[in-house]
A and B are shown apart, each in its own frame.
Chain A
Amino acid sequence: MELTLWTYEGPPHVGAMRIATSMEGVHYVLHAPQGDTYADLLFTMIERRDRRPPVTYTTFQARDLGGDTAELVKRSINDAVERFRPEALLVGESCTAELIQDQPGALAGGMDLGGIPVVSLELPAYSKKENWGAAETFYQLVRALLKPQLPPPGAAKPSPARWRQEGRRPRVNLLGPTLLGFRCRDDILEVSRLLGELGIDVTVVAPLGARPADLLRIPSADANVCLYPEVAGPVCNWLERSFGMPVVRSMPIGIGATGDFLREVTNLLEMDSEVIAAATNAEAEQRSRLPWYSRSVDSTYLTGKRVFIFGDATHAIAAARIASRELGFQVVGLGSYSREQARDVRAAAKELDLDALITDDYLVVEKAMAEAAPELVLGTQMERHSAKRLGIPCAVISTPLHVQDVPARTSPQMGWEGANVIFDTWVHPLMMGLEEHLITMFRHDFEFTEGHRSHLGGAPDGAGIEASGTKQPTTGAAASTETTTATAVASAAAGATAAPAAALAENGLHWSPDGEAELAKIPFFVRGKARRNAESFARAQGLHRIDAETLYEAKAHFSR
């Protein structure tokens, strides 16, 4: 058993639902108890879809368990096929159905369903999770549909430059975007536009918006762009092995990464040198506003801001590069819940002299965040909870998400426009430069108090400490009491337990009153780090008491 307050991913059958619902003409029969239809809301409410997901649930109840649940499955499959006439059928189980072992996939295989392709899904709900379920479903579906097209073993690989001989523009598939993915809707538009500008066509976008018939056209492209490895990794690998289709693996999130991506695509397709040159960094800088915004003097105060990053592997790695190289932040924590891509996250962390945090335990993430004492958290919907608890500004960069991260406006993460969106989103929750200076200089104001960020429009009594960029309908009552006492904020920011008197630190260290007073003068967003530094400095020096002088000693010691 594992205690979970918040889960980063749903069960694997939700991943399968994401594939079915993203596509057209695919239906999913899910053996599941009454109540599991809650998952429909993810699509009708969070994604705000105007149609019911193409999912038929058996919704068995306790009284059915005494009867023939297998018969119920068969009836549901029959009814679904007759009613919805899908072009392909997925059949699988949810976690409870997995326990009663009706083998719905095998049952469907034995039924006469008019010859439509049936994919039986084996998704172990007690060991795997949502992204794995999506990847497995997508892989099984593509494999089932493309089997008849498989080239004989030993057949020559198609050349990625065959477009030239065939006298047409090069073309690629965009694989991986789904509903409930992070900003997939607008990423596709942005990436298609980037490629179009270089003369590259997009053959199939899948699963989002594709029909089974579209999946049959996948091999006609010159290469696959693996846009979301969490979902499309296994499919792209299989297409590479079986059809010899090369895969573009760099992720165009951020300026540098978008340049890398365009160079990888154009090189791989063996395009002309002037096309490849169009993808240089110098060119890139002209296409997005992020480089100039980040260079402009208003952004100088962003230098060295301590940032903690957590999310799926793709977005966490991309965010780390943008934060450290394109915004000038200091990345003080990097992690992911995507175990499948753990190696990549570790490599990215190593480049930043960090140890990657690979976990799906929300409490472990919260603890690491508290210890790193960042000034900004870039995470998921879950990190907003911890950031609120710790009083740290936060922006969402990855799933899991909630309804406010499926916005009406165009808001990609990828490409040039994606970088613009990222600049605005990440900087917004931070205190603005002038306010930051003035709060540091004058600490007795009746309106602009500790932790207050007036550009977020909160009330002066501390509603401004609201830890997210988006305004939340919370009362902020707990937060407001924190803002009034400097020590409480300090201890919260330092991740200490909410001991009322912060005078006694861990390991028998003692803060003198003048030490406490001096600490309180440090701006709230770096105070946690200052406390930590002072304490580790005192321990290293064998001191038991921390006074104002110790604090200044530590400051000099750690200054760079």
Chain B
Amino acid sequence: MGAVAPWAPAVTAGGQESSSHLPPVLRESGQREVFCGLTSIVWLHRRMPDAFFLVVGSRTCAHLVQSAAGVMIFAEPRFGTAILGERDLAGLADANEELDRLVRDLLERRPEIRTLFLVGSCPSEVIKLDLGKAAERLNGQLAGRVRVLNYSGSGIETTFTQGEDQALLAMQPLMPASDEPQLLIVGTLADPVEDRLIDLFGRMGIERVRSLPPRRSTELPPVGRGTKVLLAQPFLSATARALQARGAELIPAPYPFGVEGSRLWMRAAATACGLAPAAIEAVLAPLVERGRRAVAPHREVLAGKRLVLMPDSQLELSLARFLHQECGMELVEVGTPYLDRQLLAEELALLPAGTAITEGQDVERQLERVRAARPDLVVCGLGLANPLEAEGIATKWSIELVFSPIHGCDQAGDLAELFSRPLRRRNLLQFS
């Protein structure tokens, strides 16, 4: 079956990987068991309740979003789909007129909407429907009332969290220009985590800390030469580059998962903002000490356990680093849907030498490796979780990591708990 130790050949095929200290990376292609970028709507609609997400696509797209979010009962839907019909495909109906009509109907029902995202899908991309132009035109018609933006969440172009990257990229031109000094935290954070981090940076002495995305779609932070960008999420490649293009400086740091990641992340930001090491350490030291205490009980459950992460959100490398470094887990395989070497350089440096990293996926072969390795815990999507559990392999479903407050030193214990919980549960349950 040749699938047990498949990393070596790909390293040489990949070229220069072996020349650096970076771990070897296996690139796989085949069936991918991942979400498309449309799924990002499921959390973005809560982050910005004054925005509406209108997917232009097929019934499949509508079905995806509602299957993911439809277990919640909505008095006021925050997302919908403009479903393409045969008339649209045959060119019998002018797609632009149709879209204008739909948007009018929608805004009549929901007059409180301030930002409307037209979200591209596989069908709209394949038939080359120009949603960018449509957004421009609608902006003209609705000027002063609603801002219309466009991004693609199609499966052929985006994987899961990349939808957020594209949405933030779309908002970027609306961000005012300002060269005033500020720290800009980029990437969706849970509200309490955001408040906490801003407070901590304030205590260190950083006055202006802003977030992207904001809680209200109309209150976008400015950007310019004084802006220092601190990425809270590793999947924001396009957004980071666009902000850099507007003069902002990207702060290189690992991501704020776990005590160590959060400590390095905060310290990198504070240092970039010119703070004295003493002021930084004064705030960080008690956080770090307390965070380690919170992680300790979970480390007892997790230490020595063998871990596989399947590709899903691009959080995998950071999580693997945390689970290895702070919880003592052994990394069997770390999968990621897409590896941005620049944005993840700091994380890669912290991973133990020889970590088996895979980029992309051939799900059947990856499952063969999982079955052969019999890891103690597999982080995977919901399409695989129950089937693996039924095979006797403990799983942690990965999507929850995008929906939980996991950033920062104070959340390190909670983050560890997400992984120790399925293992504790397996020990707890007995039916005899």
User: Which chain A residues have a beta carbon within 8 Å of chain B's beta carbons?
Assistant: 1-7, 9-11, 13-14, 33-42, 44-46, 48-52, 56-62, 64-65, 76, 79, 83, 94-96, 99-100, 124-127, 129, 363, 381, 384-385, 388-389, 400, 402-404, 467-468, 472-474, 478-479
Contacts and interface: CB of A to CB of B under 8 A. Distances in A.
Interface stretch (B54-62, B247-255, B299-307): B54-62
A7 B82 contact: no
Contact of A381 (B70, B93, B98, B126): B70
Contacts of A38: 35-36, 39, 64, 67-68, 383
Contact of B86 (A61, A96, A127): A127
A7 B101 CA distance: 19
A46 B66 CA distance: 13
Given A3-B105, A3-B106, A51-B390, A35 B64 contact: yes
8 contacts: A3-B105, A5-B80, A33-B122, A50-B389, A52-B383, A59-B32, A402-B70, A478-B76
Contacts of B154: 33, 35, 62
B33 interface: yes
B59 A1 contact: no
B157 A49 contact: no
Contacts of B89: 99, 126
B364 A41 contact: no
A129 B364 contact: no
Given A40-B383, A41-B382, A100 B126 contact: yes
Given A3-B80, A381-B70, A37 B33 contact: yes
A472 B66 contact: no
Contacts of B385: 44
B383 A41 contact: yes
Contact of A44 (B32, B75, B383): B383
B316 to A, nearest CB: 17
- Residue with the greatest number of chain B CB neighbours at <10 A, chosen from A38, A61, A124: A38
B84 A36 contact: no
Contacts of A56: 31
Query: 9 nearest interchain CB pairs?
Result: A35-B155, A35-B36, A40-B383, A50-B390, A95-B58, A1-B98, A96-B122, A10-B63, A389-B75
B252 to A, nearest CB: 29
B82 A1 contact: yes
A402 B88 contact: no
Contacts of B101: 1
Contact of A61 (B102, B123, B157, B389): B157
Given A10-B59, A35-B34, A127-B86, 8 more contacts: A5-B79, A35-B64, A52-B384, A76-B31, A96-B156, A467-B73, A468-B73, A479-B75
Nearest to B389: A50
A7 B66 contact: yes
B59 A125 contact: yes
B32 A1 contact: no
B81 A125 contact: no
Contacts of A58: 31
Contacts of A404: 71
Contacts of B58: 11, 95-96, 125-126
Contact of B60 (A3, A62, A125, A385): A125
Contacts of B74: 385, 388
Contact of B77 (A6, A51, A64): A6
A75 B34 CA distance: 20
Interface residues of B, number: 66
A335 B125 CA distance: 36
Given A34-B36, A34-B159, A402-B70, A99 B123 contact: yes
B364 A95 contact: no
A385 B73 contact: yes
B99 interface: yes
B59 A7 contact: yes
A277 B63 CA distance: 47
B336 to A, nearest CB: 15
A305 B386 CA distance: 42
B44 to A, nearest CB: 17
A467 B63 CA distance: 23
A100 B194 CA distance: 44
B202 interface: no
Contact of A384 (B73, B88, B383): B73
Contact of B32 (A34, A76, A83, A479): A34
B6 interface: no
B66, B79, B364 — most chain A CB neighbours (10 Å): B66
A42 B37 CA distance: 18
A53 to B, nearest CB: 8
A126 B84 contact: yes
A51 B391 CA distance: 9
Contacts of A473: 72
B126 A96 contact: yes
B116 to A, nearest CB: 12
A56 to B, nearest CB: 6
Nearest to A384: B73
A64 B58 CA distance: 20
A38 B154 CA distance: 13
Nearest to B385: A44
A169 to B, nearest CB: 37
A372 B82 CA distance: 28
Given A35-B155, A62-B125, A388-B73, A42 B84 contact: no
Contacts of A59: 31-32, 155
Q: Identify the interface centre among A5, A14, A39, A49: most chain B CB within 10 Å of its CB.
A: A5
Contacts of B106: 3
Contacts of B123: 95-96, 99
A126 B36 contact: no
A5 B67 contact: no
Nearest to A40: B383
B394 to A, nearest CB: 14
Taking each of A39, A64, A478, which has the highest tally of chain B beta carbons within 10 Å of its own beta carbon? A39
Interface in B344-393: 364, 381-387, 389-390
B95 interface: yes
Contact of A52 (B34, B71, B157, B387): B387
A351 to B, nearest CB: 32
Nearest to B390: A50
A33, A45, A56, A479: most-surrounded residue (chain B CB, <10 A): A33
Interface in B126-171: 126-127, 154-157, 159
Nearest to B71: A402
A468 B71 CA distance: 12
A35 B389 CA distance: 23
B85 interface: yes
Nearest to B125: A62
B83 interface: yes
Given A50-B387, A126-B58, A37 B63 contact: no
Contact of B81 (A7, A64, A400): A7
Nearest to B360: A61
Nearest to A126: B86
